[in-house]
Structure 1
Amino acid sequence: MAAFLGLSLRVTAQQLSVQASTDTSHIRLGEPVKMQVEIKVPAALKGYQLSLAILPDSFEHFEVVDRAKLDTLAPTAEYAGIFRQTTTITSFDSGRWVIPPIKYELIRPDQTVDSAFTEPLTIDVNTVQVDTTKAFKPIKSVRGVAWNFMDYIWYFVIGAAAMLIIGFLVWWFFIRRKKAPAVVVPPAPTETPYQVAIRELHTLEKDKPWHQDVKAYYTTLTDVLRNYFEQQFKIAALEQTSAELLQNIKPVTILNQQRDKLQAILTVADLAKFAKLQPAPEDHEDCLQKAIAIVEWTKPKPPATADADKKNGEK
């Protein structure tokens, strides 16, 4: 099924254009469906930022099986940027299900936003047909098989080799080898999650690694924040997408207060890491300062300050 089925919403040549298609509209339970989204940025737009939609692992009776990397095509006279991404999905629920519209946004240099949605795509999921006109066959009884030594010879060989190896290890460790004196290693000084995060952020501030590799810089920056969230707030941040992380910080009040800063960092980082776009030079320093501000705002208070705040609250 090389040809893809279905079309998506198209807008004028001066606006963002997206198109979604699938390689089939009929599957059986568990069969894969390849959904391809093509994003076109008109040539009239310069210095844009593209906000990519990220499908959750499960949505509307569908499961995401694989996410291919974003492909960047050569620009043309009509389009300044052409991007394609293929996502493999499947369903284990029979019926006619709809892939909902997917939203994509393009941020212009003047901070105005163009939005475009893909059209909904319908997939029929069918069960395996069973011929009920035929009679059921009886269950066959268990049949015995004659024992043959050659069928198990490798088990004997492996068992004998294992016994020889174990015997040699016992002889070496308890008879041949002299017991070495125990070396006491002093415990390494421990750092709090706040201390680790702020030290690594100040290292980035000093080294300015975005001059060498922008993608590696944003990967390191977001990893520092995600590790800090895991250690300080017990949020599984390293395994979550940007959208999932922003959703899961809501119960943590002090962290949710910094939601706008975190969203701004993750948006620029995703563009640099996945869309192969180059953020503006001032964005690098701005994202770093926002990250430092988030860590400073959410750092744990000293015990004396925390006790005082608790007493004031009780009054």
Structure 2
Amino acid sequence: MKVKKNIFVYTLLGCLLATTQLFAQEQYQDYFKVKAIPDTTQIRIGEPIRLEITAKVMIYALKGANLKVVFPNLPDSLNHIEITDRTQLDTSGSNEQQKLFKQIITLTSFDSGRWEMPPMKFEVFSVTDGSYDSVFTEPFFIDVNTVPVDTTKAFKPIKALRSVGWNILDYWPYLLACLALSAAIVLYFVFWHKKRKPAVVAPPARPAKAPYQLAMEQLELLEKEKPWNSDVKLYYTQLTDILRQYFEQQFHIAALEQTSAELMQNIKPVTVLNQQRDKLQSILTLADLAKFAKLQPSPQEHEDCLRKAIAVVEWTKPSAVAAEQPASNSTN
């Protein structure tokens, strides 16, 4: 009897939990809606389709929530469908009650048939608790038709080539260009060729800056200019390029040619750099989301990434003892 009682209690708790999750998911979908609406689904080969994708967040129903929406990153070609153009995100339809994101994508196809545009995945991040969820659009089909040809009519013969009479006026731009070039060459040799200027001695090249000094100057310039106020993607590109160039010059790691995952794998043998692994992982992850997933970090996150980058460079700079050791060995 005790076992049956426990089974009944666990079954009841499971049903309540499933019902609660289903209700929360349905309620969340009412507050966040995505759509993909094409202007037509019937085209001939090569004709464009204007696809409008929108994401609507009902702000009035999510008071206090801090959500970030990431639009689907579609490839240039999928399932016989080609993407020829895509606009920037438009938020002009937002107001105090709702936040509206809109993007126009131009599609076409060069293969006749019926092709499916699969569901598009939207990512929703919660800055408050770090959770995220996915929402999908409804799929739709595109019918691509060929140009009709009347096979009952006979083929027309190929016409012979026709010759066109020569006329000097047809070539006057080229003759004028040749005349101007000839005049320029004559004037050069008559007037300017004899007046040769003395050779200019180039100033001696200044010694190159140390990788640590160069990286710190670039990071201080970023902190002064605050480029994230105008272009978030450019800011994170500059920030990660400064770190990658520093790693490449200081530790001889091909950081500029590696992905974030490859870079994190290749810093393991460098002990002093691997000690800052958590800070570097945080910087690269947020930068990749901002550059490739169109994430919009907060101003505090911008400054936090910059402070972490400065800390990584400061921690890994060459010490005075290490710099003096080769000189003492050469003296001995």
Taking structure 1 as the reference length, the TM-score comes to 0.70
What's 1:50 paired with? 69
Alpha-carbon contact 1:63-1:91 (below 8 Å) kept: yes
User: Alignment RMSD, CA only?
Assistant: 3.7
Q: Which has the larger radius of gyration?
A: 2
In structure 1, what residue type is equivalent to 2:189? V
- Aligned residue in 1 for 2:237: 222
Q: Which amino acid aligns with 1:15?
A: Y
Number of corresponding residues: 272
2:285 is matched with 263
1:204 Cα deviation from its structure 2 partner: 2.7
1:155-304 to 2 correspondences below 5 Å: 155-175=174-194, 177-187=195-205, 189-190=207-208, 196-197=214-215, 199-205=217-223, 207=224, 209=226, 214-216=229-231, 219-226=234-241, 232-233=254-255, 235=257, 249-250=260-261, 253-254=265-266, 261-268=283-290, 279-291=297-309
The one-letter code sitting in structure 1 at the alignment partner of 2:198 is A
Q: Deviations 1:157-200 (Å, cap 9, x if unpaired)?
A: 2221221122222334422x233223223335446888655542
Residue pair 1:16, 1:39 contacting (<8 A) in 2 also: yes
Specify the alignment match of 1:93 in structure 2. 111
Unmatched 5+ stretches in structure 2? 1-25, 249-253, 269-276, 323-332
1:143 counterpart = 2:155: no
CA distances 1:34-57 after superposition (whole Å, capped 9, x unpaired): 111111112222322222222222
Maintained 8 Å contact 2:240/2:287: no
Asked if structure 2 preserves the Cα contact closer than 8 Å seen for 1:35 and 1:89, the reply is yes
* Of 141, 148, 153, the match for 1:134: 153
Alpha carbons 1:13, 1:42 under 8 Å: kept? no
Query: Does residue 61 in structure 1 map to residue 91 in structure 2?
Result: no
* TM-score normalised by structure 2 residue count: 0.67
Query: Identity over the aligned pairs, expressed in percent?
Result: 38
Give the conservation status (yes or no) of the 8 Å contact 1:64–1:87.
Answer: yes
Deviation string, structure 1 residues 226-248 (Cα, Å, up to 9, x no partner): 4765884454xxxxxxxxx9xx5
Q: Which runs of 4+ in 1 moved over 6 A?
A: 192-195, 293-299
Equivalent position of 1:242 in the other structure: none
Deviates more, 1:260-269 or 1:153-162: 260-269
More helix by share: 2
Is the 8 Å Cα contact of residues 262 and 290 (structure 1) preserved in structure 2? no
Secondary structure of 1:73's aligned partner: coil
- Map Cα deviations across residues 248-296 of structure 1 (whole Å, 9 max, x no partner): 555554279866642223335678xx67x6x444312222245557879
Letter in 1 for 2:86: R
Residue 134 of structure 1 aligns to a residue whose secondary structure is coil
Q: d(CA) in 1 for partners of 2:313 and 2:30?
A: 41
In 1, the alpha carbon distance for the partners of 2:313 and 2:118 equals: 37
Seen in structure 2, the aligned counterparts of structure 1 residues 162 and 298 have a Cα distance that, compared at 3 Å, is farther
Q: Distance in 1 between matches of 2:288 and 2:187?
A: 56
Q: In structure 1, what is the Cα distance between the partners aligned to 2:55 and 2:118?
A: 17
- The separation in 2 between residues aligned to 1:95 and 1:174, in whole angstroms, is 68
Matched to 1:201, the amino acid is L
Check 1:147–1:117 CA distance in 2 against 1; reply closer, same or farther (3 A cut): same
Instruction: Name the SS for the 2:91 alignment partner.
Output: strand
1:122 paired with 2:137, answer no
Name the CA shift for 1:298/1:76 in 2 (closer, same or farther; >3 Å). Answer: same
AA paired with 1:119?
E
Distance 1:163 1:208 in 2: 51
AA in 2 matched with 1:204? L
Give the gaps of 5 or more residues in structure 1: 1-9, 236-244, 305-315
Q: Is the contact made by 1:19 and 1:39 (CA closer than 8 Å) also made in structure 2?
A: yes
